DNA sequence: TTTAAAGCATGAAATATTTCATATAATAAT
DNA sequence: ATTATTATATGAAATATTTCATGCTTTAAA
């Protein structure tokens, strides 16, 4: 990762600043800003590592990331995919200061690392900011339940459909997109073997529901996908 | 459910009051108290219903509950089991005021229903309280990830082991306990068919890992259970 | 440029899981 | 007391999933 000289940064247009400034004075913001480091991450670099003590909130300014964790049997699981602009690490704020999961860049990203102690002090001084963070954590919590719902008690076809719908609606905002996840990563998202994922992709393609050209995916029949997702 | 006359209630010893009073004045607490209703729920009564607009936080004073939801294919899933004292509904506080999941009594419960609007007003006036709630939501979030980890990418035996460990360590604080969940409910917790759950119980019993006497469960070899849970 | 490695794809065998059929015991209803 | 219902249990067939073997294609390395 490359550390940028801060004078080059574009704080003027930063969404995080715009939100936070509603609750902070200029002086308070300067305190945060002094401790903030702007970094660039290359594809597949780790932004936050599961199990590490975490020292910074991360505001993802550009790029897409995956939240993932290893379970006790050593298998990797992708919890979610998120794109900028988004604040990462907020769910850890009031845990035991250990990252619950890893966050890794799926494509080149730029991010601001915000000192956690300074930020916590600000929260204590500022109800509005605390409530804003509470909103963020609540929504993360909601997303994780949605995710859980997609996986639990469904067969692989239903889960693959759910994941394709999620990517289409929440990440790419289109029924045609170029996947930045490998087949292996897709299978870690769907929680099945890579072969099963590929078989399911092939089946969906044979049935005309989707079209696959290597990394490009075209969803032709979203309705069928939604039915498959619903019935499991 | 039976509504109690408030003069009979035991607010003097209530944990919720003890915590909240650290952040509120007597006058503020009285405001909340005036709008609070104390209820008793019988086993299997619904405390909060998935999809309903939610109007009250619920402080569970006694009893044990399950968090559960129906997925799109109509299957019931138990997200978690929780026992008193615990504040229910806090994760909904800053969502769209819709219950994300249902909460149902697993045994007779008593609970205080706290008006959400009054409580929100208090949060806005009080950073300490906001941060306390933030802690609660963060921990709920952490629990749901732990739960997810137990289920994802593991075979049924590993998941059954994980659920037994959870019940033993987090709910009953003993290796011997009388299950308040039916076999059907256990299978909804583990996310498998009821038959598969029963098969797995039988297998564990044959291998001497646990002993089952109808509703009573004796965990004889916790280490083996943990190994099975870890390797999946 | 050639070779090695990684990613993707397919089919078949091995394994896991669900569904179905059936039975028994415990509980509820008549 | 008798009957019906519910909860629990077991085994076998049907289905789903993983694992394995293999091949092709693309990318990275020598």
Question: For residue B196, which nucleotide's C1' is closest to its Cα?
Answer: C17
pLDDT for A5? 46
Distance CA A105, CA A44 (A): 5
DSSP B191: T
Query: Which runs of E-coded beta strand occur in chain A?
Result: 2-3, 37-41, 46-48, 56-62, 64-70, 76-83, 86-88, 102-105, 109-115, 176-178, 210-213, 216-219
A155 touches strand D (CB under 7 A): yes
CA of A26 to C1' of D6 (A): 67
- Which letter, b or e, does each residue of B90-112 get, where b requires 16 or more Cβ atoms within 10 Å of its Cβ? bbbbbeeeebbbbbbbbeebbbb
From chain B, pick out residues whose CB is under 8 angstroms from the CB of A130.
127, 130-131, 134
Distance CA B154, CA B160 (A): 10
Quick one: how far is CA A173 from the chain centroid? 15
pLDDT for A198? 97
pLDDT at A222 over 50: yes
| Least confident residue range of A26-35, A68-77, A221-230, B89-98 | B89-98
CB contact (8 A) between residue A141 and residue B145: no
Q: Does B58 lie at the interface with A, CB-CB under 8 angstroms?
A: no
> Could you report the average pLDDT of every consecutive run of 10 residues in chain B (232 residues)?
54 83 87 90 92 91 93 85 91 79 93 90 86 85 83 93 96 96 96 97 96 95 95 81
From chain A, pick out residues whose CB is under 8 angstroms from the CB of B95.
138-139, 142
pLDDT for B97? 79
| pLDDT confidence band for A167 (50 / 70 / 90) | very high
pLDDT for B28? 87
From chain A, pick out residues whose CB is under 8 angstroms from the CB of B133.
134
Out of B134, B142, B148, the one facing A130 most closely (by C-beta) is B134
pLDDT for B9? 61
Among residues B106, B122, B128, B98, which one has the least CA distance to residue A139? B98
Phi and psi torsions of B78, nearest 5°:
-95, 120
Q: Does B91 lie at the interface with A, CB-CB under 8 angstroms?
A: yes
- List C-alpha distances in Å: B187 to A152, B119, B193, B206: 12, 37, 6, 19
Among residues B115, B98, B93, B21, which one has the least CA distance to residue A131? B93
Mean pLDDT of A192-214: 96
Distance CA A154, CA A173 (A): 25
CB contact (8 A) between residue A138 and residue B91: yes
pTM equals 0.91
Q: Does A102 lie at the interface with B, CB-CB under 8 angstroms?
A: no
Reported as a single tens digit per residue, the pLDDT across A14-42 is 888 888 888 888 888 888 888 899 999 99
* Mutation choice for B interface testing from A79, A116, A149 by most B CBs within 10 A: A149
Residue A203: partners with Cβ closer than 8 Å, 6 or more residues away:
A157
Tell me the two tokens of residue A57. 């909130």
From chain A, pick out residues whose CB is under 8 angstroms from the CB of B154.
71, 73
Q: Does B80 lie at the interface with A, CB-CB under 8 angstroms?
A: no
Question: For residue B190, which nucleotide's C1' is closest to its Cα?
Answer: C17
pLDDT for A7? 46
Reported as a single tens digit per residue, the pLDDT across A91-144 is 777 776 789 899 999 999 999 999 988 888 888 888 888 888 888 888 888 888
């Amino acid at each position: 990762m490359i550390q940028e000289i801060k004078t080059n940064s574009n704080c003027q247009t930063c969404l995080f600043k715009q939100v936070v400034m509603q609750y902070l004075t200029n002086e308070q913001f300067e305190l945060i800003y002094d401790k903030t480091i702007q970094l660039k991450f290359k594809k597949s670099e780790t932004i936050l590592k599961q199990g590490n003590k975490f020292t910074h909130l991360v505001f993802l300014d550009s790029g897409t990331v995956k939240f993932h964790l290893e379970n006790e049997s050593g298998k990797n699981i992708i919890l979610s995919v998120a794109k900028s602009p988004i604040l990462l690490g907020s769910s850890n704020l009031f845990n035991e200061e250990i990252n619950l999961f890893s966050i890794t860049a799926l494509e080149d990203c730029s991010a601001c690392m915000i000192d956690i102690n300074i930020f916590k002090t600000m929260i204590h001084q500022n109800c509005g900011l605390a409530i804003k963070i509470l909103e963020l954590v609540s929504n993360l919590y909601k997303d994780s339940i949605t995710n859980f719902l997609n996986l639990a008690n469904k067969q692989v076809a239903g889960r693959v459909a759910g994941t394709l719908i999620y990517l289409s609606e929440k990440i790419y905002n289109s029924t045609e997109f170029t996947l930045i996840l490998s087949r292996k990563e897709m299978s870690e998202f769907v929680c099945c073997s890579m072969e099963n994922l590929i078989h399911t992709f092939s089946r969906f393609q044979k049935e005309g529901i989707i079209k696959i050209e290597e990394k490009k995916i075209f969803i032709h029949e979203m309705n069928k996908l939604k039915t498959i997702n619903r019935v499991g």
